[in-house]
Amino acid sequence: MLPMGDRVPMFKLRPYRGMLWGALFAFVVGGLLSAYFFIEDSYCTATHRGLFVLIITLILTTLLIIVAFSRYGFRHLRHHRPGYKRG
């Protein structure tokens, strides 16, 4: 966290930890399952299953990481000016 001087840091801008843990879990389980399919059989069927599982795992992990850091997309939450009045 960056030092902000005498201002209080905005803890509401932290990434969602549950989503990050979910992304890590999905990546590990999907990677192990994909490796199992690649190692189990050298025929085309198992290799295609392993590749399909790997692609789905990477897409799911990427989406979970994007959702976890979605708070950074709201720029209006970063800067609160004391003289700014809403509405």
Per the structure, the count of domains in the chain is 1
Separation CA 32–CA 11 (nearest Å): 35
With beta carbons less than 8 A apart as the criterion, state whether 37 and 47 touch: yes
Let me know if residue 85 belongs to a domain.
Answer: no
Give mean pLDDT in consecutive 10-residue pieces for the chain, a chain of 87 residues: 55 80 95 86 75 94 91 62 56
pLDDT at 37: 85
Let me know if residue 30 belongs to a domain.
Answer: yes
> Which residues span the domain enclosing 64?
16-75
Separation CA 51–CA 28 (nearest Å): 15
Cα of first residue to Cα of last residue in the chain, in angstroms, is 31
Residue of 78, 76, 71, 82 whose CA lies nearest to 20: 71
Let me know if residue 68 belongs to a domain.
Answer: yes
Let me know if residue 35 belongs to a domain.
Answer: yes
pTM of the predicted model over 0.75: no
| Region at 30 (left for phi over 0; alpha for psi -120 to 50; beta for the rest) | alpha
